[in-house]
């Protein structure tokens, strides 16, 4: 392990430090030069969702009082540049960031020109304590390849590159997908059986309770189902379409939250929009199912009940699909966790209750 880890860069070691045995990590610290040892400590001190956890320390810095020709001669001393080097960072003698020198300007301007005359002073910089999510949005918005990371005093401490941001976005998306199904990020397909069981049983228990509630709703209308057997054939359609619609809504809202497009105070505006969508879908698709039910069972009343139940359950799914992630966000919780489990439970129980209740009132 020690031999393998010693081939990694400091920021890569920090990524896997939590998974290494303590004695191996201690040996790594002892084997590193003093400067890299401090870099490793700094990288490990940041939260995994902070910019500091994404940054690396392999970067090119120059002074502002030298010419571009001197910079070119300096770069030729290296066999290769650090990966994703699109700009050089201009710093003072105290390592304070003064600007950046893009490589295209270095190559195209007169070699006798001073760095200070061509460098970009207004450039996007990140602080090590910033949210990694904000950094990802900045890279997407401005098509960045790299960005400087400074401390609170404005001194250059590292850089973030696009490959690190893409890794973060991918990991975040995977965690979000697992969370919506009520799974923890730590589990993979090769995890031990007992770990997988522990990971899944919490939301399975919740699902068991909600499924029991749905079965009790059906049980309350056993008499109605006995009198009109068509209800047993049609009620899964109402619940299934509602669950699908709710999952579409909740997936869209969670994605918008992750991209920073939705704030906790947007509940009312989003509700109005999704209710409008649900009404149109309910009338169109509920009307179509109502016509099919009328044709199959020769009952116009059953068709109208089917249309009304479908519309009402889609409205319920839309409101729940917006409210669940927004309320979890307001409470400071992850809006993605268990979303699909909760929305399916609600639309199943609600769909059965709405359809069977309307059928009991107007058909029997």
Q: Is residue 185's pLDDT more than 60? A: no
* Per-residue confidence (pLDDT) for residue 216, from 0 to 100: 86
In the 3-class helix/strand/coil scheme, how is 192-259 assigned residue by residue? CHHHHHHHHHHHHHHHHHHHHHHHHHHHHCHHHHHHCCHHHHHHHHHHHHHHHHHHHHHHHHHHHHHC
Of 250 and 43, the one with more pLDDT: 250
Per-residue pLDDT band at 227 (split at 50, 70, 90): confident
How, if at all, do strands 87-91 and 61-62 pair? Answer: parallel
Whether the pLDDT of residue 181 is over 70: the answer is no
For the stretch 113-129, pLDDT in tens is 999 999 999 999 999 88
Using the predicted structure, report yes or no on whether residue 315 has a pLDDT greater than 90. Answer: yes
Instruction: Pick the range with the lowest mean pLDDT from 18-27, 103-112, 317-326, 331-340.
Output: 331-340
């Amino acid at each position: 392990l020690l031999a393998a880890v010693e081939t990694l860069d400091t920021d890569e070691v920090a990524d896997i430090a939590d998974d290494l045995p303590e004695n191996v990590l201690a040996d790594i610290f002892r084997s590193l030069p003093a400067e890299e040892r401090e870099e490793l400590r700094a990288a490990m001190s940041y939260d995994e969702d902070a910019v500091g956890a994404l940054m690396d320390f392999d970067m090119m810095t120059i002074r502002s009082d030298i010419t571009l020709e001197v910079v070119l001669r300096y770069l030729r001393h290296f066999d290769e540049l650090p990966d994703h080097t699109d700009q050089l960072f201009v710093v003072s003698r105290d390592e304070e960031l003064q600007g950046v020198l893009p490589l295209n300007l270095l190559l195209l301007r007169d070699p006798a020109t001073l760095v200070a005359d061509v460098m970009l002073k207004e450039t996007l910089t990140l602080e090590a304590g910033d949210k990694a999510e904000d950094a990802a949005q900045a890279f997407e918005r401005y098509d960045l390849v790299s960005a400087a990371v400074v401390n609170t005093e404005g001194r250059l401490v590292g850089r973030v590159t696009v490959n690190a941001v893409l890794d973060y976005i991918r990991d975040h998306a995977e965690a979000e997908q697992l969370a919506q199904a009520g799974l923890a990020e730590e589990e993979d397909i090769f995890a031990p059986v007992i770990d997988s069981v522990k990971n899944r049983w919490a939301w399975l228990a919740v699902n068991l309770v909600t499924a029991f509630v749905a079965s009790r709703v059906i049980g309350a209308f056993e008499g109605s189902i006995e009198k009109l057997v068509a209800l047993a054939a049609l009620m899964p359609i109402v619940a299934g379409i509602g669950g699908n619609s709710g999952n579409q809504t909740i997936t869209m809202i969670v994605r918008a939250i992750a991209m920073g497009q939705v704030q906790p105070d947007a509940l009312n505006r989003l509700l109005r929009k999704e209710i409008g969508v649900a009404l149109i879908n309910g009338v169109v698709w509920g009307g179509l199912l109502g016509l099919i039910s009328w044709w199959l069972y020769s009952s116009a009343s059953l068709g109208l009940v089917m249309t009304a139940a479908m519309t009402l359950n889609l409205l319920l799914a839309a409101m729940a699909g917006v409210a669940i992630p927004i309320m979890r966000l307001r409470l400071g919780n992850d809006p993605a966790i268990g979303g699909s489990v909760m929305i399916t439970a609600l639309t199943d129980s609600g769909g059965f209750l709405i359809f069977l209740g309307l059928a009991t009132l107007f058909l029997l």
